[in-house]
Amino acid sequence: MSRSIWMNGTLVAPKDARISVFDHGLLYGDGCFEGIRVYGGNVFKLRAHVERMQASARSIHLDPPYSDEELTDAIIETVEANRIDDGYVRAVYTRGEGSLGLSPSSCSDPSCIIIADTISLYPDEMYVDGMAVIIAQRPRIPIQCLDPQIKTLNYLNNILAKVEAIEAGVLEAIMLNIDGDVAECTGDNIFLAKDGIIVTPDTSAGMLHGITRRFVVEEVAPACGYTVEERTVAKEELFEADEIFLTGTAAEVIGVSSVDGQPIGAGVVGPITTQLVEQFRSMVAGTVCNR
Ligand code: PMP
């Protein structure tokens, strides 16, 4: 089947989906994006993703080139055109073409790109056996420098922490903030369970305000009879936890078996995580596009 990419209002063939070498999205990582899931042909948490995309754009002084409604329609149009039943959508705003200088004022025309494709998650066996992770040496960028809640096109802070993980032979790294407390992972948020209580770093830790994180706090955990405490989480708590799990659009909910080679709990996916994974899956199966 031929794929099509939505670019600035038109569906085009991938070979025709091109941006300028003068686009500040390429030259400086100047832009923002969203990763969104499609379950059973329905876009999951569409409104939340559209709102976060527009908020990211405004935070970097990029006037969104499309309204919430227009962006919503474009995402659905792209999913339908590509007949994606279970898949992933990448929506991107770039600053647009400009001069070689830093100033965004030379870029008058931001670009919008929407790609709908299939997705490769972490390997299936990791959902059963749990995932080994490390703690990255590199801290997450502090809120005062570039607020990690802005989902910008510049992911090098995360990419370099991901490289640390890969060099250590694992797929994900926990990132601490500059105070040494737990912030999030390179592409996922993090939760701990201890003595039947679930905690997750509060947003003041400096992290992407994950849409899956919010779904787990507000819907999945309550449906399983848990409330989630959002508070500062010290690094030491990681090693005292009974269970750790990660959440993200691509990862969904996945258990952690070890941190820096030290087993978490019994070193397997614990009962709370297992319950949340099952609950998450049954809830997303009933997804409707919420425009
Ligand atoms: N943190 C970071 C750094 C991310 O890139 C992501 C998304 N991959 C997440 C957390 C999870 O956010 P969401 O649940 O909205 O996908």
Fold of 5-117: D-amino Acid Aminotransferase; Chain A, domain 1 (3.30.470)
Q: Which of 92, 189, 211, 219 has the most ligand 1 atoms within 8 A of CB, as the residue to mutate?
A: 189
Residue 183 pLDDT > 70, yes or no? yes
The protein residue with its alpha carbon nearest to ligand 1, atom 6, reads 187
Residue 160 phi, psi (nearest 5): -70, -30
Q: How are beta strands 252-259 and 131-135 bridged, if at all? A: parallel
pLDDT of residue 5: 98
pLDDT of residue 49: 98
Q: What secondary structure does DSSP assign to the chain, as a single string? A: ----EEETTEEE-GGG----TTBHHHHH--EEEEEEEEETTEETTHHHHHHHHHHHHHHTT---SS-HHHHHHHHHHHHHHTT-SSEEEEEEEE--B--SSS-GGG----EEEEEEE----S-HHHHHH-EEEEE-SSPPPPTTTS-TTS-BS--HHHHHHHHHHHHTT-SEEEEE-TTSBEEEESSSEEEEEETTEEEEE-GGGT----HHHHHIIIIIHHHTT--EEEE--BHHHHHH-SEEEEEETTTEEEEEEEETTEESTTSS--HHHHHHHHHHHHHHHT-----
pLDDT of residue 287: 83
Distance between alpha carbon 197 and the CA centroid of its chain, in Å? Answer: 24
Per-residue pLDDT tens for 202-212?
999 999 999 99
pLDDT of residue 108: 86
The active-site residue out of 15, 45, 151, 194 is 151
CA of residue 9 to ligand 1 center, whole Å: 27
Task: Kindly state which CATH superfamily the domain 126-284 is placed in.
Answer: D-amino Acid Aminotransferase, subunit A, domain 2 (3.20.10.10)
Q: Taking the domains of the chain in order of start, what are their residue ranges?
A: 5-117, 126-284
CA-249 nearest atom, ligand 1: 16
Mean pLDDT of 183-193: 98
Per-residue pLDDT tens for 21-33?
999 999 999 999 9
What percentage of the chain carries pLDDT values higher than 70?
A: 100
Residue 70 pLDDT > 80, yes or no? yes
Q: Which of 230, 213, 209, 235 is nearest to 136 (CA)?
A: 235
pLDDT of residue 290: 80
CA of residue 214 to ligand 1 center, whole Å: 11
Per-residue pLDDT tens for 133-160?
999 999 999 999 999 999 999 999 999 9
pLDDT of residue 126: 95
CB atoms within 10 A of CB 8: 17
CA of residue 115 to ligand 1 center, whole Å: 18
Active site residue 45: no
Residue 1 pLDDT > 70, yes or no? no
Residue 7 pLDDT > 80, yes or no? yes
Query: Taking the model in full, what pTM does it have?
Result: 0.97
Per-residue pLDDT tens for 77-110?
999 999 999 999 999 999 999 999 999 999 989 9
If you average pLDDT over every residue of the chain, what do you get?
Answer: 96
**Pocket residues: Cβ below 6 A from ligand 1:** 35, 158, 184, 187-189, 208, 210-213, 247-250
CA of residue 212 to ligand 1 center, whole Å: 8
